Structure 1
């Protein structure tokens, strides 16, 4: 938009600019596909190295499992280097009752019961009104309540489950019962974590303990509860049903951990793109400079206004390496001149881009600064379509009622009208 503003002010019809920009966009798309390097999907070692390089590229700027199977937990304290990757599910223990210390903290190949059941004595005054005439009747109500709770706990024990997880509270009586019977329990487990455990470990979330068969219980290779920073974490490793992992991020402040989480999200998205699309291009402004050179050379072969417009599109692509230089505090003019000279020298310089480590230019493909080609294609297509859409709007229709309502002031709303439209 910035590059074509001067042409609009000089009276060039916007549709002429739109046609030139769309032609340049189509040429750029074809050039990216031509330049993109295909990767082999047969060699698993090579593919893993590629994905690691794509992730490293995204991390420096700030998957195999689905996004909802990648957990990210933040534990304040410690250094970034203390962060860890758990090959499975991990979540913070929400609350502990008396008897928790007596429970075993590690099991091998345990059966896991996942519940949406409350395992504690309910306060009947909050749920119902019971009128009794004597102490014996009151005692029978209390005994029935205890019998119901112990019946639930007995059925859980008889099911063979060693780990009991529940979305609802697990009280001190149940906690002590499980400890006495060599079982582990965790109550108030967040819904997201419980569902991820179910998908990874198998089984299903039960709303009753009446029929706890082997088919509704999950399992994993190793379960353990461990101390991470100031928090207790329940960790399930070797989950058989689905690929899942949990990133436990450490840092000295919440802001630092939030920024680390955003950087990890960028890296994960790039890796997912690279898995779905088997071609990559060099980043760091390299592909933009090569496309700019390609369009600039093409513009010299055509006549008329289109020559100037295609050249303007080529200049617009240089904003990426220029911005990289400015963000790093480099002399953008000097770096861009070096890049123009290198890219114009022939095919040997097509992957040269900004190197923020040396304050110079370098072959970013050799340096493993890679990006999936589809990311560049989508970004350039979206930018071009947005520009063409804005250029197609030639008039704004004001709402007279809005003018009157504002006492002759600025209108509160309007509607754009495209050329050849209304």
Structure 2
């Protein structure tokens, strides 16, 4: 309907809302992702640096783990947050390569930026990127080497050592690779649930004072008077695990009783004592030497057990209790009556030991051992926390390698081989507009060896040229040799990685790049607009500020 020949203005969005669209918006998103990549790329590789990150509460974190860095960066730019998601997905799916996937995604976007500026359709770019990604994944699988079961442990240790080369613990990698492989092999090989690997951090001592416990260890729980009279060591004890509160006050809290005479009150008090004594007598008669409960064990029960040479611990953490049940074969009881011998667990030895400033309970030589505990030592809490993150990556690599036996070489060798293959394919087989985009994808893969060289202080241009020559000659596993500052066969150097790491990184990085390129409109409300320059680009000096750009994006489908 028109009024006086003019169409009235229809306001759909809130006044002050900015709706950025088109090429300028895509370029803005690419620049934001490049800013994130610039922050994280110096942490890549054996000579990558660590980032010191301080949150709003003043808590310090020193790390070079990509997933941790991306989680702690307060990234609110809508497009850049996609890089956070792919880092988390890589961490969940594989456990390692989180920095690589973010660096690769950022580089793909930077390489195709030129095509966007020239007006090439983003749909054409996405189609070419997905084609290049599929070919790259197939090439990785084609060149991967299957390991045999005879050298299984040796292979797992080499894979764990490669995962640790870029971590804080690389100087003690020999010590920790054995620990990681032992930890994964201690699990049930059918499900390999890494959550059953307990990690306890105790400040003090050196890294090599860390312990591998083939069983369960947890910190001494809160205890009442009488605890010190209990025995602290057993050989082949019977263990009962409870979800029962053994305190006198519990019966008062769980019931309401009305009395009319004083004599009746005394009968109620006597009944309460009889109830708890009945529970304690049942536990004693079960033959258990160690009593554990998720709920409190009070002073009356503690003294009762001490008089009968029984060890008890209340308020045991749920995860520790679950691991004790897995290791000892015990069954969690919700009542103290009818406890049968098959409900009890056992272990080779139980004892309480002092480690640093803490006392720990150890359950070792467990017959059902499908769990283990790593006791980590170190000089500072931040240092031990980074050791834990490093071990997590190595453990996940070992876990994936057990299920996926194909390996490839590290040191940038795989990326260079795939890059050479894609360049050759684009020159010979592609005759349409996809050719320059596939070649851009191939150049993006070279960012991994280039960044490895930059972080180590090598001449990246010289080494990359030598790598290109070697791969054109057919030396599939030629990569960056950090020992000689040159090019070597990474497979012979035992720099190995699961093929799954490379496959997942290429797929995740490509999907993230295609998703970001597919967003050509962002709607921001007035209160949370990100600073924008001409043509949607970030204004001068705002590259790093993009990390905290107050934008809430909404991609248009």
Length-normalised TM-score, structure 2: 0.68
- Secondary structure of 2:165's aligned partner: helix
Deviations 1:188-229 (A, max 9, x none): 101111122112212221121111111221112222211111
Partner of 2:75: none
> How far apart in 2 are the matches of 1:8 and 1:188?
60
Per the alignment, residue 12 of structure 1 pairs with 120
CA distance in 1, matches of 2:117, 2:111: 11
CA distance in 2, matches of 1:273, 1:314: 27
- Structure 2 gaps, min length 5: 1-108, 168-183, 188-192, 533-549
Name which of structure 1's ranges 96-105 and 66-75 shifts more when overlaid on structure 2: 96-105
Task: Tell me the distance in 2 between the aligned counterparts of 1:30 and 1:2.
Answer: 24
CA contact (8 A) 2:280 2:301 kept: yes
For residue 211 of structure 1, give the secondary structure of its aligned residue in structure 2: coil
2:401 maps to which of 264, 267, 274: 274
Equivalent position of 2:515 in the other structure:
389
Q: CA deviation at 1:397?
A: 6.8
Deviation of 1:71 after TM superposition, in Å, equals 0.7
Q: Distance in 1 between matches of 2:306 and 2:431?
A: 85
Whether 2:491 is the aligned partner of 1:365: answer yes
Aligned-pair distance for 1:175? 2.0
Q: By how many angstroms is 1:87 displaced? A: 0.5
Distance 1:385 1:52 in 2: 32
In 1: Cα distance, 2:521 partner to 2:137 partner: 33
What is aligned with 2:361? 234
Q: Following TM superposition, by how much is the alpha carbon of 1:389 offset from its aligned partner in structure 2, in angstroms?
A: 3.0
The structure-2 alpha-carbon separation of the partners of 1:141 and 1:72, relative to structure 1 and needing over 3 Å to count, comes to same
1:49 equivalent in structure 2: 154
> Could you give the per-residue CA deviations for residues 305-324 of structure 1, whole angstroms, max 9, x where no partner exists?
33322221111001111222
Higher relative contact order structure (alpha carbons within 8 Å, sequence separation ≥ 6): 2
Distance, in Å, in 1 between the alignment partners of 2:266 and 2:481 is 79
Query: What's 1:67 paired with?
Result: 194
Q: Distance in 2 between matches of 1:34 and 1:253?
A: 45
Which one of the candidate residues 368, 371, 374 is aligned to 2:500?
A: 374
- List alignment gaps of at least 5 residues for structure 1: none
Output the CA distance in 1 between the equivalents of 2:253 and 2:124: 74
Q: Which moved more, 1:18-27 or 1:226-235?
A: 18-27
C-alpha distance in 1, partners of 2:124/2:528? Answer: 38
Alpha-carbon distance in structure 2 between the residues aligned to 1:20 and 1:203? 57
**Residues 31, 124 of structure 1: alpha-carbon distance in 2 compared, 3 angstrom cutoff:** closer
In structure 2, relative to structure 1, the CA distance for the partners of 1:388 and 1:125 (3 Å cut) is: closer
Deviations 1:333-391 (A, max 9, x none): 233233223323323xx212223444433322122221111221111112122222333
Measure the CA separation in 1 of the matches of 2:442 and 2:503.
15
Which residue matches 2:479?
A: 353
- Residue pairs, 1:334-345, within 5 angstroms: 334-345=462-473
Cα distance, 1:131–1:360 mapped onto 2, change above 3 Å? farther
Cα deviation code 1:87-146 (max 9, x no counterpart): 011111112222222222222221111011122321777665776755x65554444333
Partner of 2:236: 109
Q: For 1:320 and 1:78, how far apart are their aligned partners in 2?
A: 36
What SS does structure 2 have at the residue aligned with 1:300?
helix
> Does the residue aligned with 1:361 lie in a helix, a strand or coil?
strand
Note closer, same or farther for the CA distance 1:95–1:376 as it changes in structure 2 (3 Å cut).
same
Deviates more, 1:375-384 or 1:336-345: 336-345
User: CA-atom RMSD, angstroms?
Assistant: 2.7
- 2:521 corresponds to 1:416: no
Do the aligned partners of residues 238 and 412 (structure 1) sit closer, same or farther apart at CA in structure 2, a change above 3 Å counting? Answer: closer
The 10-residue stretch of structure 1 (251-260 or 22-31) with the greater mean CA deviation from structure 2: 22-31
- The aligned residue for residue 179 of structure 2 is none
SS of residue in 2 equivalent to 1:2: helix
User: For the structure 1 residues 130 and 364, does the alpha-carbon distance in structure 2 shift closer, same or farther, using more than 3 Å as the test?
Assistant: farther
Cα distance in structure 1, aligned partners of 2:483 and 2:267 = 77
Mean Cα deviation higher: 16-25 or 49-58: 16-25
Indicate which of 37, 51, 54 corresponds to 2:145. Answer: 37
| Partners of 1:412 and 1:380 in 2: CA distance | 28
Which of 439, 443, 457 does residue 315 from structure 1 map onto?
443
Alpha-carbon separation, structure 2, partners of 1:413 and 1:82: 48
In 2, the alpha carbon distance for the partners of 1:373 and 1:4 equals: 26
Counterpart contact for 2:326–2:370, Cα < 8 Å = no
Tell me the matched-pair count: 407
Could you tell me which residue of structure 2 aligns to residue 168 of structure 1? 295
Aligned residue for 1:248, secondary structure, equals: strand
Residue 324 in 1 paired to residue 432 in 2?
Answer: no
Partners in 1 of 2:437 and 2:551 — Cα distance? 35
The counterpart of 2:420, out of the listed 264, 269, 293, is: 293
Could you say what secondary structure the match of 1:233 adopts? Answer: strand
Q: Structure 1: how far apart are the matches of 2:286 and 2:253?
A: 31
Q: TM-score, normalised by structure 1?
A: 0.88
